[in-house]
Amino acid sequence: MQRLMKLIEPYRGLKREIYIIFIAKTVNAMGAFVFPFLTLLLNNKIGLSESETGTFIAISGLLFIPSSLIGGKLSDIIGRKKLIVIFETLGILCYGACCFIQPTMLMAYLLLLSGILFGIAGPAHDAMTADLTTPEEREGAYSLNYLGFNFGYAIAMLFAGTLFEYNLKLFFLLDVVTGLIGITLIGLFVSETLHNSSKEISQDRELEKKEEGSILDVLFSRPILIAFALALFGYRFVYSQWSFMLPLHAKDNFPADGAALYGALGTFNAIIVVVLTPVLTSLFSKKTNVKRVFYAGILFTIGFGMLGFISTRVAFFTSVFIFTLGEILEAISVMPFIMNHTPATHRGRMSSVLPITMGLGFTVGPLIMGHVLEATSFSIAWKICALIVGVSTLWMIRINKNEIKSRVDEEEAVVAN
């Protein structure tokens, strides 16, 4: 019992709204079919080649940049809740339209539009969670959000592969229904949180105090955030292959049931997250956010890199297990680190600008690796991925040293005053 209480300790005592958001994300994820199967939708159903698929996903990622910037700015001006309800509803309606058309480029363009709309709403989610928490609560709150999504995602992936192959209309329809339920929960039970960003910040949260000026002014006054985002670029470049190169590899190795295998891997990934997120959150609670991201990089290097040497069914599942441990450590650490270094007045904008820098890796990953695949092989491509994330992991060591030094300097300055 004592061990169980220790595991759930980070999730206790949070505001009611955090638990509502957790439930909303869980329900929403129960129908989260479209995004994880986007590569196979474009490649197998619509008929794009591997490089065309990679290019299309890259274009989608590039369009995410202006949409996220717009969303971040609007989130700090008109509010978090309005953005989430309006733009996610519009994005879900794009999925709804896909229920009534055949897999053609029109479907691809609707999916592109939905990505833009979800991109506008995205920064509001992270800003809302930051508004509702203190630095001590953020690790637990972001971990809970991540846990809820993956719990629902695990359920979705149990039958996502089968629906993809045999009933594409129901595939889209379930995503629409669960998405609307999730939005309704936030719309009815979560109040607007923008006003929280104007509240007085305590002395021990110096980096969160209100500031004037643009988001660029804030960033340049905090170079550690820029370095952190650039390092995460490599992580996201490689992690993008989870939804791009890995399903193609599974389909290439097992033509008859590659989609079903990928669905099973998705379920396996989500189950690991649900079971081990509380465990890893507790085990690594004494480590800094940056140190946890460093360990995540090691796990990414091993997990993705091993597919360059062996790609049996067992190897696929082993790879997913290893890099999912890294995924958990990264997920519970990145946004708490960013928000703990961000003025309350700039949370929405920071939730868009830094994820754009990090997310560029997710954008160019499919584009570059699509061409690499056509020129070489899966074996070489996975080894290239391991090299990229390995270099980024080493960079994280330097960032961790700089953060420790900055913290020591701040403490000495406080003592001196």
pLDDT tens profile 262-292: 888 988 888 898 889 888 988 888 888 899 9
Question: Checking phi first, is residue 233 left (phi over 0); if not, alpha (psi -120 to 50) or beta?
Answer: alpha
| Residues 385, 65: Cα–Cα separation, whole Å | 23
Per-residue pLDDT tens over the stretch 53-91: 888 888 887 888 889 889 988 998 888 999 999 999 999
pLDDT recorded at residue 220: 79
Q: Chain-wide mean pLDDT for the chain? A: 86
* Separation of CA 236 from chain center: 9
Residues 6+ positions from 136 with CB-CB distance below 8 Å: none
What is the number of helices (H) and of strands (E) in the chain? Answer: 17, 0
pLDDT at residue 210 above 90?
A: no
pLDDT recorded at residue 127: 87
| Residues 115, 35: Cα–Cα separation, whole Å | 9
pLDDT at residue 222 above 90?
A: no
Model's pTM, two decimal places?
Answer: 0.74
- Pairwise pLDDT comparison (411 vs 83), residue with the higher score: 83
Q: For the chain, which residues make up each domain, given as ranges? A: 17-190+213-416
Task: Report the pLDDT averaged over residues 179-184.
Answer: 94
Provide the terminal-to-terminal Cα distance of the chain, rounded to the nearest Å.
Answer: 45
Tell me the CATH number of domain 17-190+213-416, given options 3.20.20.70, 1.20.1250.20, 1.10.3720.10, 3.40.50.300. Answer: 1.20.1250.20
| Residues 114, 120: Cα–Cα separation, whole Å | 10
- For the record, the structure tokens of 225 come out as 């955030």
Per-residue pLDDT tens over the stretch 321-379: 999 999 999 988 988 888 887 887 778 788 777 777 787 888 788 889 988 998 989 99
- Report the alpha-carbon angle 79-175-264, nearest 5: 120
pLDDT at residue 412 above 60?
A: no
pLDDT recorded at residue 99: 92
| Residues 135, 337: Cα–Cα separation, whole Å | 9
Q: Provide the 3-class DSSP secondary structure of residue 34.
A: coil
pLDDT recorded at residue 414: 47
| Residues 210, 197: Cα–Cα separation, whole Å | 8
Express as a percent the part of the chain with pLDDT over 90. 39
Task: Report the pLDDT averaged over residues 124-133.
Answer: 89
- Pairwise pLDDT comparison (200 vs 393), residue with the higher score: 393
Task: Report the pLDDT averaged over residues 298-303.
Answer: 97
